[in-house]
Amino acid sequence: MKDNFNRNIDYLRVSVTDRCNLRCIYCMPQEGIKFVPHDEILRYEEILKIIRIATTIGISKIRITGGEPLVRKDIVSFIERLSKIQDIKDMAMTTNGTLLKKYAKDLYEAGLKRVNVSLDSLDENKFKTITRSGSLKDVLEGIEQAYKAGLYPIKINVVVMKGINDDEIEKFARWSMEVPYQIRFIEFMPIGQNNWEKELFISGEEVKQKIENTVGSLIPVEIKKSGPAEYFILEGAKGLLGFISPLSAHICTRCNRLRLTAEGKLRPCLFSDREIDLKRILRSGASEDEIRQILIKAIQLKPQSLSDNRPLRAMSTIGG
């Protein structure tokens, strides 16, 4: 379905939990997080019902996210039920990868097509500093398992922060020579009460320049369904390098998505705190058609471009 700015909205990102087993410095505070009570989180049946209705207005791509989706109980059987919904053409997951070693094969067999893994450092100590607890080894093993299981393509998301991990841009770029993954550099965004400061920001263009100065020329690559990312390849590389620049580039013109938070709020735009309480409507016994109308309304409420306001909620509670 088209929104008011002629964008085709066919993509729903669904957060299945606000819980996470990491505390990345750019995403969540270390302590004092108020999690949504369990009975306020959408049940799997409710999510499946919303997705089924969403497919009737043209949603055909689903991404499961969180929080950390793999910490939610029975996630594999949920994926299996999701994969049976007709008209879903693409079903992906965004994960921090810590539990992928355990789940990759089961997820693939349940019908998941692909994963995006967040990985902001290739150095064990720095990885611990950024995630405040995680193990790099677990994530790297998880990525390998995902690749072996057949989840394809594997996308690696790197949030680049000046003075924190920008010294690893070259290392990540060289990694693309060896691994068949799409390694994407993402601009650090001011979302919620995270530690965003102008001094930490480094634009996609600056990252590209660093790679061209230290590793080699970036050759543009056209990929179908590339979403907000721009892709390049280094000569002879097995993998690709991508750039997602929500702050410095005008990616809103290509925005095709709605978000559903873990507690059932429909969010037309990541950068706007405007939300529709779909769970309240769903739990009040609304008909399928009433729910469909709410989804249509959310599409119509999508703003043309992001506002200058800093969204109040952390990415982990919206579903990145």
Binding interface with ligand SAM (CB under 6 A): 20, 26-27, 65-66, 68, 94-96, 118, 157, 159, 186, 188-189, 191, 194, 315-316, 320
Token pair of 73 as six digits: 């109980």
Supply the DSSP string of 112-151, one letter for each residue: --EEEEE---SSHHHHHHHHSS--HHHHHHHHHHHHHHT-
Q: Which residue, 244 or 282, is less far from ligand SAM as judged by CB? A: 244
Q: Which residue, 1 or 123, is less far from ligand SAM as judged by CB? A: 123
CB of 6 to ligand SAM, least distance (A): 27
- SS3 sequence, 253-285? HHCCEEEECCCCEEECCCCCCCCEEHHHHHHCC
Q: Which residue, 17 or 176, is less far from ligand SAM as judged by CB? A: 17
Q: Which residue, 117 or 282, is less far from ligand SAM as judged by CB? A: 117
b/e per residue 285-311 (b: at least 16 CB within 10 A):
eeeeeebbebbeebbebbbeebeeeeb
Q: Which of 225, 54, 242, 234 is nearest to 155 (CA)?
A: 242
CB of 15 to ligand SAM, least distance (A): 8
Q: CB of 100 within 8 A of CB of 145?
A: yes
CB of 20 to ligand SAM, least distance (A): 5
Element of type H or E holding 241: strand 240-244
Q: Which residue, 53 or 267, is less far from ligand SAM as judged by CB? A: 267
Helix, strand, or coil (residue 84): coil
Question: What is d(CA 124, CA 102) in angstroms, rounded to the nearest whole number?
Answer: 20
CB of 171 to ligand SAM, least distance (A): 18
Q: Which residue, 26 or 108, is less far from ligand SAM as judged by CB? A: 26
Q: Which residue, 159 or 282, is less far from ligand SAM as judged by CB? A: 159
Pairing assessment for the beta strands 219-221 and 90-95 based on DSSP bridges: unpaired
CB of 184 to ligand SAM, least distance (A): 9
CB of 262 to ligand SAM, least distance (A): 11
**CB-closest chain residue to ligand SAM:** 320
Where would I find the H helices in 135-195? 136-149, 169-178
Q: Which of 106, 31, 46 is nearest to 76 (CA)?
A: 106
CB of 284 to ligand SAM, least distance (A): 29
